[in-house]
Amino acid sequence: MNNFQKILSLFCAFALVAVSNAGHPDAFSIVSSEFISIEPESKTEAAAAEAPSIEPVDFSKAVLTISYETTNSDGEAETQTLYEGSYEEHFIHLLQIGDQPFLFSEPTEVSISLKITEESDPMTINTVMDSGSDVRLVYVDHPGPRDEFLVFGSSNQVLNSENKFAVTGDLSFIENDSLHTTSAFVWATFVNSEGQRQGKQWGPVLVEDGSFVIEGDIDRPLTATLYLRNQSSFLNTTARIILEPQGELTVAKLGNQTQEVSVVSGKGYHAQLIESWQQSDEYIAMVEAWTSEQERARNAPDEPADSSDEAEDETTSDTEEEVASEEDDSDADAEVDSVELVDAIEPVEGCEDAVAQEEETEPVAQTPSYEYPQWYTLRMEAAAFQTEKLQDIAKNHKDPNAQLLAMQMGIFSPYEDAEEALAVWGALAEKFDADFVAAYISPELERIELVHTRTLNNEALVPGQKVPAFTLASLDGDDVSLYDLAKTKDMVLIDFWASWCGPCIATFPELKKLHAAYTDENFEIVGVSVDNNFEDWSGGVEDHQLPWVQLGELKDANNGSPVSKSYGINFIPSTFLIDSQGCIYRKNIHTSELKDFLVDRYGLDESLVEPEEEPEETPEISS
């Protein structure tokens, strides 16, 4: 790949500022920025000629804002702006008020926000500055739409030096020609002292001369993830880490490969929980095996190339989005009108026809199961090795804090390993005081209990069973009973959705056609929104012009989402096709399958018939 790096030296500018502020040698702070432009990859001259031209980023209307939060004389929070003005490719600004350098009284979190145009979303960097400290920024102009605005070389977010941690790395061992456009950041998801889940990011920072430094502060050990990303190459890796006050972590090469890195400390909980297995010969051999196979697959002429992050182990699939984590933890104890869990799948009285139709349905030709590439299988074996080691620490380590940190890595699936996870969390609850348990352990127990209950409820709701009864408010505020509505219809599709759910939205065009075609046949759709608030719900209905019955079970209603829990809604979209008696005929039915069902039940509606394409006229041949 040919990359063109345009970086203007700021040495002279810094010297001029230093001379003009000679009376304040330790006081002034400078914010500067550099510019990197990445040329698109062109394999051949022909391809380069045919490729669309890419316009360089235009900074003529860009506005940079540098500000921080302070407290006024009345004790109220307010924003103090240190700079708001133009921004150029190579930017330098002395923080000052009037002609005097601005002096921070203590380390202060500063927000640096860049808007390229009035309509564009701001690109924001949070950093910590003190009097005499400088911040170097960099704007990376990528060929695509995803430009980056980040700090250069070193990221400082330390407010309390006594709790400082540092993550450093020299990545020169990667030997990648795009290393100068690689970024690094640390992300942690944790439960705070109020028992609420939150996330925090340190960085991102652009690697400079192959190296980077990320500094922050924490008041207790936290599990986190280090991310190394490069939009222009195959470098796209993560590493589990344990952040600790006064802890120092160093990124290093792991074995004889560069797709996965090691992070070493040599002491503390990181050494116990991560290095204990990461530095073992067995694990290193497993990593070398999958990376070697991946490289072989990439270079094999008869095999399609695989990106390094293909088939990542994600919690969200292409066709459904998880909603369990979107719910408040408080709904784990809510009273619900849930169905009685059953071991057998015998139909309840009155629902025999639903099972009969299910059995009469012609079996759909099974699509051959996807065969993962060999490198991915080997990679999952290495991941399983990690999980096994961490699960052993969680269950058997002598230090309860080490057990807690292992559990906070999510090593037990709340869907597949819920009972084991509940047992380990329950045992941990006996090892800490009541206040600690209430803040850090009970929320995890409640979350897993919620997912587990939903999973069991969902498994019980199969064709031949009846859906739980519920009454929810419509957009107009009127209470609507599902069973009262169902009695007036022949078939009803219950559709759990949210305005933020892409796969849900993708079904709307076809559902609109089916709703319009079979409304006269007493077919109805009942949308149940699980949005966070009324505005998101009503906005989603308006944006997509949804014509069917709309009901909402909103988080801000503080009702614990009992309907979603009783229906076992862990993912959306989730659908239930029921008859007038509430009997389930189909569950999570695809729109194409729903169309087949409705056509078979009511006949083919003319509006669903695709018009035949008229043949193109054959041009006359002159004699």
Q: Mark whether 141 and 174 lie in a shared domain.
A: no
Considering the domain boundaries, does residue 614 fall inside one?
no
Task: Among 441, 460, 479, give the residue marking a domain's end.
Answer: 460
Residue 152 DSSP SS3: strand
pLDDT at 16 over 50: no
pLDDT confidence of residue 152: 93
Task: Among 412, 437, 460, give the residue marking a domain's end.
Answer: 460
Q: Mark whether 64 and 132 lie in a shared domain.
A: yes
Burial of 607 (0-12, 13-18, 19+ CB in 10 A): exposed
DSSP for residue 127? E
Rounded average pLDDT over 4-27: 43
Side chain identity at residue 443, one-letter code = P
Least confident of 85-99, 269-283, 517-531: 85-99
Q: Mark whether 450 and 488 lie in a shared domain.
A: no
pLDDT at 621 over 50: no
Retrieve residue 244's tokens: 């600790």
Burial of 344 (0-12, 13-18, 19+ CB in 10 A): exposed
pLDDT at 311 over 60: no
Least confident of 109-113, 180-184, 384-388, 391-395: 180-184
pLDDT confidence of residue 21: 44
Q: Mark whether 190 and 277 lie in a shared domain.
A: yes
CATH number of the domain residue 511 falls in: 3.40.30.10
Q: Mark whether 218 and 168 lie in a shared domain.
A: yes
pLDDT confidence of residue 331: 37
How far, in Å, CA of 608 to CA of 589, rounded? 18
Considering the domain boundaries, does residue 304 fall inside one?
no
Residue 407, φ and ψ in degrees, nearest 5:
-65, -35
pLDDT at 488 over 80: yes
Retrieve residue 539's tokens: 């906005």
pLDDT tens-digit series, residues 576-620: 999 999 999 999 999 999 999 999 999 887 777 766 655 555 445
pLDDT confidence of residue 349: 83
pLDDT band per the 50, 70, 90 thresholds, residue 99: confident
Q: In this structure, are residues 419 and 456 in contact, taking their beta carbons and an 8 Å threshold? A: no
Give CA separation, 281 vs 255, 286, 538, in Å: 9, 9, 56
pLDDT tens-digit series, residues 109-150: 999 999 999 889 999 999 999 888 899 999 998 887 788 999
pLDDT tens-digit series, residues 220-248: 999 999 999 887 665 688 999 999 999 99
Rounded average pLDDT over 524-531: 94
CATH number of the domain residue 14 falls in: 2.60.40
Rounded average pLDDT over 328-335: 36
Which residue, among 507, 528, 491, has the nearest Cα to 591 in the 3D structure? 507
Q: Mark whether 70 and 119 lie in a shared domain.
A: yes
Report which of residues 527 and 323 the model is more confident about: 527
pLDDT confidence of residue 316: 37
How far, in Å, CA of 593 to CA of 342, rounded? 27
Least confident of 82-96, 315-329, 443-457: 315-329
Considering the domain boundaries, does residue 620 fall inside one?
no
Cis peptide upstream of residue 368 (ω within 30 degrees of 0): no
Q: Mark whether 33 and 97 lie in a shared domain.
A: yes
pLDDT band per the 50, 70, 90 thresholds, residue 265: very high
Considering the domain boundaries, does residue 475 fall inside one?
yes
Percent of the chain with pLDDT over 90: 58
Q: In this structure, are residues 529 and 450 in contact, taking their beta carbons and an 8 Å threshold? A: no
Q: Mark whether 587 and 554 lie in a shared domain.
A: yes
pLDDT at 193 over 90: no
pLDDT at 396 over 80: yes
Q: Mark whether 12 and 145 lie in a shared domain.
A: yes
Residue 196 DSSP SS3: coil
Considering the domain boundaries, does residue 346 fall inside one?
no
Q: In this structure, are residues 507 and 595 in contact, taking their beta carbons and an 8 Å threshold? A: no
Retrieve residue 19's tokens: 């001379």
pLDDT tens-digit series, residues 356-368: 776 665 555 555 5
Q: In this structure, are residues 347 and 355 in contact, taking their beta carbons and an 8 Å threshold? A: yes
Rounded average pLDDT over 519-547: 93
Q: In this structure, are residues 578 and 526 in contact, taking their beta carbons and an 8 Å threshold? A: no
Rounded average pLDDT over 412-425: 92
Q: Mark whether 125 and 165 lie in a shared domain.
A: no
Side chain identity at residue 275, one-letter code = E
pLDDT confidence of residue 411: 93
pLDDT confidence of residue 351: 86
Phi-psi region of 401 (alpha: psi -120 to 50; beta: other; left: phi over 0): alpha
pLDDT confidence of residue 561: 82
Q: Which of 41-45, 72-76, 190-194, 416-420 has the highest mean pLDDT?
A: 416-420
Task: Among 414, 439, 460, give the residue marking a domain's end.
Answer: 460
Q: What is the domain extent for residue 176?
A: 153-299
pLDDT at 184 over 70: yes
Structural domains counted in the chain: 4
pLDDT at 70 over 80: yes
DSSP string, 60-96: TT-EEEEEEEEE-TTS-EEEEEEEEEE--SSEEEE-E
Report which of residues 185 and 308 the model is more confident about: 185
pLDDT confidence of residue 486: 94
Retrieve residue 171's tokens: 């990545």
Q: Mark whether 14 and 133 lie in a shared domain.
A: yes
Report which of residues 311 and 92 the model is more confident about: 92
Considering the domain boundaries, does residue 367 fall inside one?
no
Mean model confidence pLDDT for the chain: 83
Residue 367 DSSP SS3: coil
pLDDT confidence of residue 307: 46
Considering the domain boundaries, does residue 338 fall inside one?
no
pTM: 0.77
Considering the domain boundaries, does residue 342 fall inside one?
no
Q: Mark whether 325 and 473 lie in a shared domain.
A: yes
Residue 286, φ and ψ in degrees, nearest 5:
-65, -40
